Amino acid sequence: MTKFSANLGFLWADLSLPDAIYAAKAAGFQAVECHWLYDEPVDKVKAALDATGLVMLGLNTRRGDVDNGENGLSALPDRTKDARAAIDEALHYAVAINARAIHVMAGFAQGVAAHDAFVSNLHYACDAASPHGIKILIEPLNHYDAPGYFLQETEQARDIIAQVGKPNIALMFDCYHVQLMEGDLTHRLSDLLPVIGHIQFASVPDRGAPIGGEINYPYIFEVISDLGYNAPLGAEYKPKGPTEKTLDWMTVFSR
Domains and CATH numbers, the chain: 4-253 (3.20.20.150)
pLDDT at 252: 79
Handedness of CA 44, 36, 126, 68 (dihedral sign): negative
Residues of the chain where predicted confidence (pLDDT) is lower than 50: none
CB 4 within 8 A of CB 233: yes
Report the catalytic residues: 139, 236
pLDDT at 255: 58
pLDDT at 136: 99
